[in-house]
Amino acid sequence: MTASTSTVVDIRDWIRRREETYHSRSKVVVFITVLVLVLLITGLGATMSASSATGIIEESDRLVIFKRHLQWVILGGFAMIILAWVPYHLYRRLAPWALGGSFLGLIATLIIGVERGGATRWLEYGNQTLQVSEFSKLAVILFVSSVLARRSDRITETRQWLGPVVIAMGVTCLLIVLQPDLGTALIVAGAVGVIMIAAGVPFRFLAAIGTLGLAVAAYATYSLEYRRQRFMCYLDPGFDPSGACFQLIQSLIALGSGNWFGVGLGASRARWSYLPNPHTDFIFTIIGEETGFLGAATLLLILGALSLVGVWIAYRTNDRFARLLASGITAWLGVQSLVNVGGAVGAIPVTGLALPLVSVGGSAMVSAMAGIGILINLANHAPRIRASATQRSPR
């Protein structure tokens, strides 16, 4: 009788823990979804305002850019839903193929890509373009997470993992820098660095790789004139106010005019040919101008909350691959957000990176939403760290 009673109690305890886990996971998924929807709606509203002047001037349609952006948001939504339901273990198997496809796409971009603004970053088919480097971020994160998870018990033996990781990151960054696009290459390197930290790579290896990366970044910065000028504008916006520093100065003027509460939705003045790229690189500026400090700060809090959820997902799983994958995706989206906002406010040199889930950019939008889909997948399906016996409620 006692054994039978104990078995019933064990079953009830197991059911209770399963229900608690299910409800906890559901809350996280709902929270991520709400954050993403708020960011997408904010981006759509800001795009409608920021791109209206450009649409009127270039194509006599104030909503033409907004309509294209909406199409990419819908496509990204499908990508997010699909990747949220595919068994996440499949990502590990697909990682080498994703990296190989990324290499081929980046090489094709250099050979047959279209040039815009002095850079060759897009493949063109009809009236559609594809920026392969945006998807390369996710491919490298998948591959490096897979390698370090598989060899986690030999992480102190560099010969076990250093070669594949350096090749994946180095070749990808090299091909992206040749486009040229230093900002995206730095995001790739930063995400890989965070994955290595999460994997427990010894500090001496991290320091050596980081020092080499900084040296290469410094050389790349000073190897091209426009990069040197952007760096000088960061140090002194008055260095070339009518040339290289024009974007930054106009961004600061627009942000300053927003004051605490903004000039009003749809009332931006900077979008009327004062601020270049208002719906892409500087959409945060338009949001700050129209909604003021309070609106811009709220957007930053939402982006920060999304990053914190990603950290929570990585911390709460005991699956090595899931932990590294969540860490890499969170680092990618979080650091890119900081870089975009930092460039708009003059805290760092302007890089031309999109603000994830907010800025106009088809490839950037789809890849970011794909990354969110994987985070949702991990939150919903990756095994959780079990509570210790002292943390469980007494029988």
DSSP H helical ranges for 51-88 = 52-59, 64-85
Q: How many Å apart are CA 27 and CA 189, to the nearest integer?
A: 32
Look at residue 5 in the predicted model and tell me its pLDDT. Answer: 53
Closest by alpha carbon to 313, among 25, 20, 35, 23? 25
Q: Is 116 helix (H, G, I), strand (E, B) or coil?
A: strand
Q: How many Å apart are CA 194 and CA 189, to the nearest integer?
A: 9
Q: Which segments of the chain have a pLDDT < 70?
A: 1-24, 385-395
Closest by alpha carbon to 79, among 366, 393, 314, 390? 366
Look at residue 6 in the predicted model and tell me its pLDDT. Answer: 54
Residue pair 353/183 in contact by the 8 Å Cβ criterion:
yes
Look at residue 19 in the predicted model and tell me its pLDDT. Answer: 45
Q: How many Å apart are CA 32 and CA 391, to the nearest integer?
A: 26
Q: How many Å apart are CA 81 and CA 361, to the nearest integer?
A: 20
In this structure, the number of other CB atoms found within 10 A of the CB of residue 41 comes to: 12
Q: How many Å apart are CA 366 and CA 376, to the nearest integer?
A: 15
Q: How many Å apart are CA 222 and CA 217, to the nearest integer?
A: 9
Quote the strand ranges of 77-236, DSSP E.
Answer: 114-116, 119-125, 128-130
Q: How many Å apart are CA 203 and CA 261, to the nearest integer?
A: 45
Look at residue 203 in the predicted model and tell me its pLDDT. Answer: 86
| Angle, helix 283-316 to helix 320-345, in steps of 10 degrees | 160
> Residue 296 has which token pair?
């811009």
Closest by alpha carbon to 23, among 380, 387, 391? 380
Phi–psi pair at 361, nearest 5 degrees: 155, 105
pLDDT digits (tens, 9 = 90+) for 156-173: 777 778 889 999 999 999
Q: How many Å apart are CA 191 and CA 137, to the nearest integer?
A: 8
Segment (H or E) for 125:
strand 119-125
Q: How many Å apart are CA 121 and CA 177, to the nearest integer?
A: 10
Q: How far is CA 59 from CA 65, 70, 212, 266, 281, in A?
A: 9, 17, 46, 19, 21
